[in-house]
Structure 1
Amino acid sequence: MATRTSEPPIDDKLSEFLQGVTLNRSIPLRDQVYALVRNAIVTGKLAPGAPINEFDIAAKLAISRTPVREAVKKVSDEGLIEVFAQNGTFVSGIHRNQVEEAYIIRIALELESIKRAASVITQSQIEDLEDIIEAHAVAVKRSRFDEAIARDDEFHRYIAGVNNLHMLWKAVDVSKAQMDRCRLLSLPSPGAGLQTIAQHRAILAALASHDAAASMQALQTHLETSLGNTLTYLDANPDGPAVAKS
């Protein structure tokens, strides 16, 4: 880890993002700092190459450096931050191979999740998923893309929760960090949000009929479409500011 003198100053956008943040001292500080920094990167508030200065983050949040160091290490483990011993810590670019690997992991885990959910899902749970889809549609219609992605994740997380597979979703969530960054970049493209909603409705229809095979097929089609859209975006924007060149 870089020393105090070699670390770059805090990025203006991160400083703005942290302005007014109050941490809850009753829950682990590192988890809160992790969520803040990860969210800033995933939503593009911190661009690739932006400096991450642990000392200044700690000062801004009025906490010790230890929970910040632990949080940054966790974000780094997800491939969102690169640490250079002599130069400092910076937001990483998006790596195509990491995006593809994330989808491989996600598809495998979620297919198992939905197969189990199809046989036990209740009418009440079906209605909850319907509500999530409707909220997602409103967010897309109003071009609230951060909210649209949150509702998208909520839909998938809820399905994992039907069988209390919360650790499964946690594994998916950790693995898809680079994927999430691409989603925010590509979602404003014409029809992308509407396509996702239509595919969610197809998934829900299969779940409502308790058809495991159809549910798995609908989910796989949805995730493979998402991967295809993401790779198309990356191929069309090879010199984009978020795309890693190596």
Structure 2
Amino acid sequence: MDFDPTTLNRALPLRDQIYHKIRNMIAVGRLKPGDPINEVAIAEALGISRTPVREAVKRISDEGLIKVLAQTGTYVAPISRADLEEAYVIRRALEMESARRAAPKFTASACEALEDNIAAHRLAISRGKYARAIQLDDVFHRTIAETSGFPMIWKAVDISKAQMDRGRYLAIPKPGYGEQTIKQHEAILDALKRQDAEGAALAMEHHLETSLHNTIEVAGELADKVAAAANESE
């Protein structure tokens, strides 16, 4: 694991920085299912005590991204269908309501922000900059939550969507998946422009259902590859 001590801001809480660092490494696939999480090694690499590392790992474990096995060790959790579906159920409820409440409050400035976002997202996909595309995807959804007048919705979504994020980084390079996301964002935006609350909510639901389907598909393909590799090594 690549932990550079120069990336830490010693004036800010270390546990929060380590939490975001490890969580992001899991989400983008730099830490893969089954990879060990060695708290002592991380602490030594960063030149800090083990306490903030332990606190960060506990927080990530509570989100289901890390499994702590008694007398065995701490490992990155597998991507399971049940976890993906749970994350989807939570996200669907929150984001449909977010879109519904944003519609009557949708302003010209919010419209411009989402149009610019979609244009940048399209460019990122065309250039194969998938990490950037996912960042822009998150900004699109966060902007809608902020427009709704309930910005805490996005904070709740951000915590619950970690499992789906892992699948998104696997799915987005597949041909057509990125373009599909952009078209669905445009459909959400069109409904918001019309201040069609139910139309925006339904467009959001369709978008998230598609994301779940794509994520489950690629997660299944990954599981099949892992199983095949395990059989070959026996």
2:103–2:197 Cα contact (<8 Å) kept: yes
- Identify unmatched segments of 5+ residues in structure 2: 228-234
Distance (Å, rounded) in 2 between the aligned partners of 1:197 and 1:213: 20
TM-score (norm 2): 0.92
What's the CA shift for 1:53?
Answer: 1.0
Q: Which amino acid in the other structure matches residue 215 of structure 1?
A: A
Deviation at residue 96 of structure 1 after TM alignment: 0.6
Deviates more, 1:157-166 or 1:213-222: 157-166
Alignment-mate amino acid for residue 63 of structure 2:
E
Give the match for residue 189 of structure 2: 204
C-alpha distance after superposition, 1:127-163 (max 9, x if no partner): 0111111111111111111111111111001111113
Q: Give per-residue Cα distances to partners, 1:40-75, cap 9 Å, x unaligned.
A: 011011111111111111111122111111100011
- Report the equivalent of 2:50: 65
Paired residue for 1:170? Answer: 155
Quote how far apart the aligned CAs of 1:165 are.
2.2
Using the alignment, how far apart are the partners of 2:205 and 2:119 within structure 1?
A: 22
Does the residue aligned with 1:49 lie in a helix, a strand or coil? Answer: coil
Q: 1:108 aligns with which of 76, 86, 93?
A: 93
Q: How does 1:1-246 map to 2 (within 5 A)?
A: 14=1, 16=2, 18-19=3-4, 21-241=6-226
TM-score by length of 1: 0.88
How many corresponding residue pairs? 227
Question: Which aligned runs of 4 or more in structure 1 are off by greater than 4 angstroms?
Answer: none
Aligned CA-pair RMSD: 1.5
Q: What is the percentage of aligned positions where both structures have the same residue?
A: 55
- 1:22–1:61 Cα contact (<8 Å) kept: no
Gaps of 5+ in 1: 1-13
Aligned residue type for 1:45 = R
Structure with the larger helix share? 2
Once the two structures are TM-superposed, the CA of residue 238 in structure 1 deviates from its matched residue by: 3.6
- Residue identity matched to 1:120: K
